Structure 1
Amino acid sequence: MTRKVADCRRTPSEINCSLTIIGEKEEVVRAAAEHAASSHGHDDTPELREQIRTTLEDETAPTGMEFVQLIEFKTSRPDELSRLMDEWEERTGGKRTATRAVLTHDHEQPDRYYEFVEFPSYDEAVRNSHLPETDELSQRMRNLCEGEPTFHNLDVVRAEAL
């Protein structure tokens, strides 16, 4: 079942509210009605809840994700690698173009990891890779891996929230 979205930015208000509520339909209706009453001064009535139901939209996948880099590597030092990633995030704040990263561990192959890094575009990924901090991270990451990491550059064909 597709989750629903209630977004206050779609309805002008005196307080310029920017709250977005996402979830199953009836839980979003309940939360949005409670928010409308507590923050916007509306009465939580059956009519208000019906009006909210008519304005709900389906949740969609995040926009702006056109390119993903998949990095495959093997390491027996995941804690050190995690600290390295935290350091890179701190040092590249405001400069990096990566928008999200997901690190995964392979159940069947101990020490095998895959990281998905999302970018708005291939060009932004290239720009990110040219950051001095990214180059340094890459060198230090190689020292923590058994063998060379494998990089896969992937254009996003389809993305949806499920």
Structure 2
Amino acid sequence: MTRKAADCRETPSEINCSLTITGEEEEVVRAAAEHAVSAHGHEDTPELREQVRGMLRDEAAGPVPKGMQFVQLIEFTTRKRAELNQLMDEWEDRTGGKRTATRAVLTEDHEQPDTYYEFVEFPSYDEAVRNSHLPETDELSQRMRGLCDGEPTFHNLDVVRAEAL
């Protein structure tokens, strides 16, 4: 059975609510109705629950998630993954509250050991540029190059579709 989602961001409200509720349909209808009463001042009626049910969407459906409009793909080879992991952890610690990257996924090529691809998500291209201008990011880039077997390759990608499957 497909999980359902109710997202307050899809319905304008005076309190600018950002709550998302996900689960089986009846669970979501019940929880969303309770939330509508406690947070938005609605009355729990059969009509409210039907209105909530009509606004549900499949969990996997929907627009590109906020914070994921642009992705940078970095392709590189290294035999020093442990050192690279330490470097990335250090960068995360040093850029907390400053970086604009919203998520990073590091993968290793299954057929080509020591070949890696890192996907770094950003809210926009401009935010990626801003992130790359952080002194900590510049330092990371220089130190990362020292761990790589050659020059990393950067691909700048606009996200046109993303969904949970």
> Structure 1 vs Structure 2: percent identity of aligned residues?
80
Separation in 2, partners of 1:151, 1:109 = 18
Any idea what the Cα deviations from partners look like across 1:117-158, whole Å, max 9, x if unmatched? Answer: 111222221111111100100111112211111111112222
Question: Please, what TM-score do these two structures have when normalized by structure 2?
Answer: 0.74
Change (3 A) 1:63 1:19: closer
Q: Does 1:7 align with 2:10?
A: no
Q: Which stretch has the larger CA shift, 47-56 or 92-101?
A: 47-56
Q: What is residue 152 of structure 1 aligned with on the other side?
A: 155
Separation in 2, partners of 1:92, 1:63 = 21
User: Once superposed, what is the RMSD of the aligned Cα atoms?
Assistant: 3.2
Separation in 2, partners of 1:152, 1:12 = 39
Any idea what the Cα deviations from partners look like across 1:80-133, whole Å, max 9, x if unmatched? Answer: 211211111111112111121111121111111111111122222111111110
Structure 1 counterpart SS, 2:106:
strand
**Residue 22 of structure 1: how far off its partner (Å):** 2.0
Q: Note the 1:8-157 alignment, pairs <5 A.
A: 10=11, 19-29=19-29, 32=32, 36=35, 50=50, 52-58=52-58, 59-60=61-62, 61-157=64-160
Paired letter, 2:133: H
Question: Please, what TM-score do these two structures have when normalized by structure 1?
Answer: 0.75
**Residue 51 of structure 1: how far off its partner (Å):** 5.2
Change (3 A) 1:24 1:78: farther
Separation in 2, partners of 1:26, 1:77 = 50
- List structure 1 segments (4+ residues) > 6 angstroms apart after TM superposition: 44-48
